[in-house]
Amino acid sequence: MKRAFPILAVLTGILLSYALYEALVVAPTEQTMGNVQRIFYYHVPSAWTAFLLFFINFIASVAYLIRRNPVADAVAVVTAEVGVVFCTVVLVTGPLWARPVWGIWWTWDIRLTSTLVLWLIYVAYLMLRRFSTSGQTPVLAAALAVFGALDVPLVYFSIWIFRTQHPQPVIGGGGSIDPRMLHVLLVNWLAFLCLAALLCWSRYRLERLQREVEEAQALESIAAPGGSR
């Protein structure tokens, strides 16, 4: 496993570089929006990656609520942290794309608003994990994660359910996309998935080590003279 990590890191770096070249050079220029449309190759894969990580967080949180499995709890924390990173990318690249196209940085569109709410829920989740000292913190956080996961379908399907300024999806939603653009989009998503896996792997190892240290310190305090008083 130790040898696999640097190999994955190198492959991820190569794939990210190739994806950047594809997005900036190979992909055709969109006729209406011009080069600013190339943000699409980072905005959309970031959203898809965040949704996937939040889904894993949901599964891990449910597993923890059922079995109180510490591994599931660690996976939930890690995927929430990395998911918030990718969701932040979505919220940053969206206004950068919207300003030259819509003429405004932000509008309280249902897709944009529900995405912001999703980000706030998982930021609250991380703050709860970071600052709460209650023994019930993992349970409360898992319950919050289950609640937050309900917003993911709303974000995804909002443009089908409501009238929205956000464009229709280019895949499976009545929109269309040039096959060359689709190829570049999928290459970038693969690169982002590899990056997310690398970040989660690194963060999970750190989380497990941190918990082992905390357990060792707790045992030492109990074993010390007067520690059980």
Domain ranges of the chain: 12-27+38-219
Say whether pLDDT at 170 is over 70.
no
Q: pLDDT band for 85, please (50, 70, 90 cuts).
A: very high
Radius of gyration in angstroms for the set of CA atoms belonging to the chain, rounded to a whole number:
21
Position with higher pLDDT, 195 vs 216 = 195
What value does the mean pLDDT take over residues 180-184? 91
Residue whose pair of structure tokens reads 């912001």 in the numeric block = 116
d(CA 129, CA 132): 6
Contact 82, 200 (CB under 8 A): yes
Asked whether residue 117 carries a pLDDT value surpassing 70, the answer given is yes
Range of lowest pLDDT (23-37, 103-117, 154-168, 212-226): 154-168
d(CA 115, CA 87): 8
On whether the CB atoms of residues 62 and 86 are closer than 8 A, the answer is no
Secondary structure of 19-54 in HEC code, one letter for each residue = HHHHHHHHCCCECCCEHHHHHHHHHHHHHHHHHHHH
Q: Tell me the mean pLDDT in the region 175-183.
A: 82
pLDDT at 52: 96
- At residue 199, does pLDDT exceed 70? yes
pLDDT score of 91 more than 90: yes
**Cα atoms in the 13 Å half-sphere on the side-chain side of 177:** 19
Is the pLDDT at 227 greater than 60, yes or no?
no
Helices (H) and strands (E) in the chain, counts: 7, 0
pLDDT of residue 211: 83
Q: What is the mean pLDDT of residues 150-157?
A: 85
pLDDT, one tens digit per residue, over 27-71 is 998 888 888 989 999 999 999 999 999 999 999 999 999 999 999
Percent of the chain residues topping a pLDDT of 90: 55
Q: What span, in angstroms and rounded, lies between the C-alpha atoms of 111 and 162? A: 9
Stretch 177-189: mean pLDDT, rounded? 91
Q: What is the mean pLDDT of residues 149-154?
A: 88
| pLDDT in the model for residue 166 | 67
pLDDT of residue 164 exceeding 90: no
Report pLDDT for 30. 85
Half-sphere exposure of 105 (CA within 13 A, CB side): 2
Question: For all residues of the chain together, what is the average pLDDT?
Answer: 88
Mean predicted confidence (pLDDT) in 100-105: 85
* Strand runs labelled E in 104-223: none
Structure tokens at 180: 């060359």
